[in-house]
Amino acid sequence: MKSLFLDFWVSRKILINGSKNRFLSFIGFSSILGISIGVMALIVVMSVMNGFHFELKKRILDATSHIEITGGLDNQDEINQLIKKITDLKHVKAVSPYVSGEGLLSNRSVNRGVLVKGIDPQYENNVNQLLNKVVKGSKKFSIKPFEIIIGVDLARLLDVDIGDDVSLLIPKLNFSPIGNYPTIKKFHIVGIFDAGIYEFDSSLALIDYQDAQKIFFKNQKTKFSAMQIQLTDSNKTLHVESDIKKILIDLNINSFINNWTNKNKNFFSAIQMEKRVMAIILTLIIAVAAFNLVASLAMSVQDRKKDIAILMTIGFSKFQIIRIFVFQGFIIGFIGSLLGLFFGVVIASNINTIVPFIEGLFNIQFLSKDIYYINELPSIIIPTDILSVILVSIILSLFATIYPSQMAAKLNPGEILKNE
């Protein structure tokens, strides 16, 4: 233990006292700087990717349900029986059927393709938070028929507001003696919601389910397009989905069942892949800094050959010489990691302030809502991620000491002192 402390003290003195060679000192400083920049960048990127994943998951679950059953919802008695059985399942919070269809929403010369969702506002709030995202107007429909709630981006694209009327054209032909014509209904805008996801805000329209049944299921047996199921715990999705499949088989209902993870599987997989790729790229930055450390320590060995020779002559073993340079590499890696950790956490914690400032300063936008779904950079710092980054940084720094420390241990003190 005493020997270990002595080796650490010697390596610390060598590092603090520095070198008369300014270039060598610069190389050592650049090693610390490179490691700190790599660690800082890695912490910031991983925190942003974590925040991106969490925020998108939250916004998607605010606008959709955990599980969805589509098709086969023709018989009202079977629907009521299915709702009762699903509601009785453990972890099920609420069930709400709805009607859906595609259409073209128009305001004079401006047209926009939309997904129309016929809901019962009384039950819709139990399966998602979409109606709670209404920022203008009413969260529910009055007794008057054909009222509509649209997204904030859809209202902007159509140039409409609360109180305006829009026409909904359904690609479903009506037959008459004089010819076939599409279904067109005029709707009155009573509310505008902001889900925070461009896909919903720009192409989703909510109407009363009874109005939707008149438009989409006129003269048909079908009552609802799908059924939404909200759970008390999103982690129980697969378990509850399995139980629902058994209920559908027991009731002989031919329906397709899907969950929120499957519907957004590719999207979340892409985020995870991007996080891994960015982590690999930024780890390479730390590795480059570590290779810089190899050069720094190798030059330090050449610069301090006389000091190493003196240490050997007073009784230092080769293993102790190796340990001195390993400690020196550890100190550089630790200082670089510590600086990177500090600045990385500071930037990641204040990313919501830093990014808008840069955007305003240069009049640019980093995230376009129609491409990235959200237009802000959320950040969540996960301690295990930080610990992994620090460990990788220090381990790479220790690996960088292998060659220089071996080179120092192989020096011949007799020849060195003889030539001095």
pLDDT for res 351: 85
In contact, 24 and 296? CB cutoff 8 Å: yes
pLDDT for res 16: 46
pTM summary value = 0.73
pLDDT for res 204: 92
pLDDT for res 419: 64
What are the sequence ranges of the domains in the chain? Answer: 2-59+267-419, 72-254
Per-residue pLDDT in tens (0 to 9) along the chain, 420 residues: 555 555 555 555 554 455 555 555 666 677 888 888 888 988 988 888 888 888 888 888 787 888 998 888 878 888 888 889 999 999 899 898 899 888 899 988 788 999 999 988 888 888 888 888 899 988 888 767 789 999 999 999 999 999 999 999 887 656 555 555 577 889 999 999 998 888 889 999 999 988 888 888 876 777 788 899 999 888 888 899 999 999 988 888 888 898 888 887 777 787 778 778 877 887 787 777 777 778 777 777 777 777 777 777 777 778 777 787 788 888 888 888 899 999 999 999 988 888 778 777 777 776 666 566 666 778 889 899 889 889 888 888 888 888 888 887 777 766 766 665
Structure tokens at 207: 């109407």
